[in-house]
Amino acid sequence: MFLAKKGLLFVFLFCLYGISAQIKYFPEQNDVWIEKTPAELKVDSEWLNDAVEFAKENEYSGSRDLRIAVLKGFAREPFHEILGPTKKRGGPAGLIIKDGYVIAKWGNTKRVDMTFSVTKSFLSTVTGLAVDKGLIANETDFGKDYVWDGTFDGAHNSKITWQHLLQQNSDWSGEIWGAKDWADRPPRKGDLDDWKNRGLRDPGTYMEYNDVRVNVLAYSALQVWRKPLPQVLKDEVMDKIGASTTWRWFGYDNAWTIIDGLKMKSVTGGGHSGAGIFISAEDMARFGLLFLEFNQ
């Protein structure tokens, strides 16, 4: 099981018979999820219906062809391109769950769609598992002590810890899989020269949302697990919570590395240039229940 350690989000893996009374029901794999009326669980049906209607009426306004939406959304970034798989999305879909039971749902909850930065929750989970299993001794350890291929070389990058990568305040500087850190969501002011020659902030002092650096975390976690992270997620989490076999975790088309003589794909922590977790609302709900139960 996981231990709660400072600075990281951890969960407990569990067997279904070990679920506490707070979640009274958890569906077995392939079971039809049991539904109950709001009244049975003392939920205000009017408020619940308002929430469902709000979700249905506030669909993302961009193209349902997510390749087009991604390219348009990040058009101001220099050199941005689609590097991994994308998928046309469906309409709004979701579930509302109380005590483990479905009390409302809308859309096709079995449809697999891209989830973009929700992928970071899955990445932090498999990284946390590496700490739990002793593959990473402590989240405050330096990345350079685990990944020695140049990823953490230099006066700045050598000061970066796993905790910095997880909290997105590493300010890692470099390029991975053809993507440059400074080109990811650059400031509104300045130009290419300003962005490339920016001053670096000490790791741990400044949080910045940056998918290139998150992909460095994914690559580093792959190095310590020594097997593809989707396999780790399947074996250690998704199979144990009864998820379907339809979810996928992709990396960029060129994100291949060799470990122990085997060619492995390094996955991404989001869909900024395609890739990331593709998953149904129902499988996402199982993952959410896992966190809900053991992060009270």
In the chain, what are the domain boundaries? 18-109+285-294, 118-279
Pick from 68, 75, 120, 119: which is nearest to 89 by CA? 68
**Per-residue pLDDT, 19:** 39
**Per-residue pLDDT, 17:** 35
Each residue's pLDDT tens digit in the chain (296 positions)? 233 333 333 222 333 333 344 688 999 999 999 999 999 999 999 999 999 999 999 999 999 999 999 999 999 999 999 999 999 999 999 999 999 999 999 999 999 999 999 999 999 999 999 999 999 999 999 999 999 999 999 999 999 999 999 999 999 999 999 999 999 999 999 999 999 999 999 999 999 999 999 999 999 999 999 999 999 999 999 999 999 999 999 999 999 999 999 999 999 999 999 999 999 999 999 999 998 876 65
Q: What is the CATH class of 118-279? A: alpha beta
CB 162 within 8 A of CB 127: yes
**Per-residue pLDDT, 292:** 85
And the tokens for 33? 């999820």
* Rounded Cα–Cα distance for residues 71 and 54 (Å): 27
**Per-residue pLDDT, 24:** 85
* Rounded Cα–Cα distance for residues 198 and 292 (Å): 40
How many C-beta atoms surround the C-beta of residue 81 within 10 A? Answer: 12
What is this structure's pTM?
A: 0.90
CB 229 within 8 A of CB 221: yes
